[in-house]
A and B are shown apart, each in its own frame.
Chain A
Amino acid sequence: MVDFTNIDLDQLFGFSDDSNPLLMLVWILPIIIFIFYGQRIQLQVTSGEIKKAIKKLDGYRTEARTELIDYVKKNMSPSEDPTKKIDRFLDYFTIMPVDMDPNGVVDKVRHTLRAREDYSRNHVKSLSPDSNELELSKVITLLEIATSLHMIYKIVNHMYLTAKKQNNYPLILPLQMILPFIMEEAEAITKAIPAFQLGQPVGDGIGPMIVGKMMLDTKKELVAFQTVLGEKEYNGRKLFLLKAEGPGSNVGRPGDAVESIVAKNKPDIIIMVDAALKMEGEDSAITAQGFGAAIGGIGTERFQIEDIATKNNIPIFAIVIKQSIKEAITLMTKDIANQAENVTSQINEMIQDNTKPGQKVLLIGVGNTIGVPQ
């Protein structure tokens, strides 16, 4: 009979004897396994995490598509079922111009993007030709959200399946590294849907909100596509107030607008108010002042504004309200909204400090103007 209550582990595994073959096997076997199958094991572990993320992304894109179709059916009363048309649009892509010869590439990018914008607008309008501009702008934004989530899902899934197919662990590493950032952005985009459906101002709309309030008692005119201009006096200075036309979900065309304004009434300074992405560790809704064109996007508008300012020797000042990506595209937080008065006084101070009575100031509220009229 074996006495299991009295086993000597030292004797069994030979801890006191280096030549014990059982102990050698315990150490050497995993090393051999890891040498030959290490990458495959890592691939399996990483695959599990990525698969979960892809499932989430699939959920986001399905939610965005369903919300879009439901919104169109409820609010635009289309003559026929819009599902087929919307599904076709989700797969539309944009081929960016060749930049091997960068000369003139900005004009090409602008042309490509505007052609896409015009197509989207016409496409959405064709669903219900009688829809008003506000509903149209909301649906276009919801369509952009659904398209972005659809594209993110497809790209991540493609990268994952390629690595799996090739059984290639290094191929999955870049995806593993960028996945948390992609997920954060995809989650933020999904959470933006209710604000755009309800027409609520988003964090990015703080610039248009501040300038829109200053424009309230002025005579407004359309100065460029979906871009409004108002004029008023402030302490002997002439203010040109510019923002996208609200309360629809628009960002306007500030580049074209600045070109038109400068040609007619050359301002002495330009002040741009915009939301800016905060750095990790920075508090949300803090403000900062600086120089240069504060405007995001792909860069075509910024290029145009910088070009005009340089040619006409106009200094550009910027005030930004810091926020996270999620705060920028979802319902405006109380902290951000409460910065409106502070930023307005900073604008007034900036005008006072940098201009003399009789001079002209162009003030631009940059950002999406959903829920923000003027």
Chain B
Amino acid sequence: MFSKDEIIVAYTLEKCKSCNMERKRKFKKGDYLFTETSKCDSCDGIMQIEKIFGEIIEKS
């Protein structure tokens, strides 16, 4: 059995296809793996969703 007070937050990890820079942000509806999202901040590459996962942030 698992705790009722467990809070799982969904995150989206984006990765630049050119410089491999990673950016982690909260998941938003419409995020799907491997979709291209935005331009990279450090180079002109395209950011692609690499992973979508949940992290437990609180447990009592």
Contacts and interface: CB of A to CB of B under 8 A. Distances in A.
Interface residues of B, number: 19
Given A184-B1, A187-B1, A331-B10, A373 B51 contact: no
A37 B31 CA distance: 61
B38 interface: no
Interface residues of A, number: 28
Contact of A201 (B1, B8, B52): B52
Contacts of B54: 200, 330-334
A128 to B, nearest CB: 19
B29 A373 contact: no
A373 B55 contact: no
Contact of B53 (A187, A198, A246, A334): A334
B35 interface: yes
A30 to B, nearest CB: 34
Interface of A: 180, 183-184, 187, 198-201, 209, 212-213, 216, 246-247, 326, 330-334, 336-338, 340, 371-374
B52 A373 contact: no
A326 B2 contact: yes
B29 A372 contact: no
20 contacts: A187-B1, A198-B29, A199-B30, A199-B32, A200-B31, A209-B33, A246-B32, A246-B33, A247-B33, A332-B54, A333-B54, A333-B55, A334-B53, A334-B55, A337-B51, A337-B52, A371-B31, A371-B33, A373-B33, A374-B34
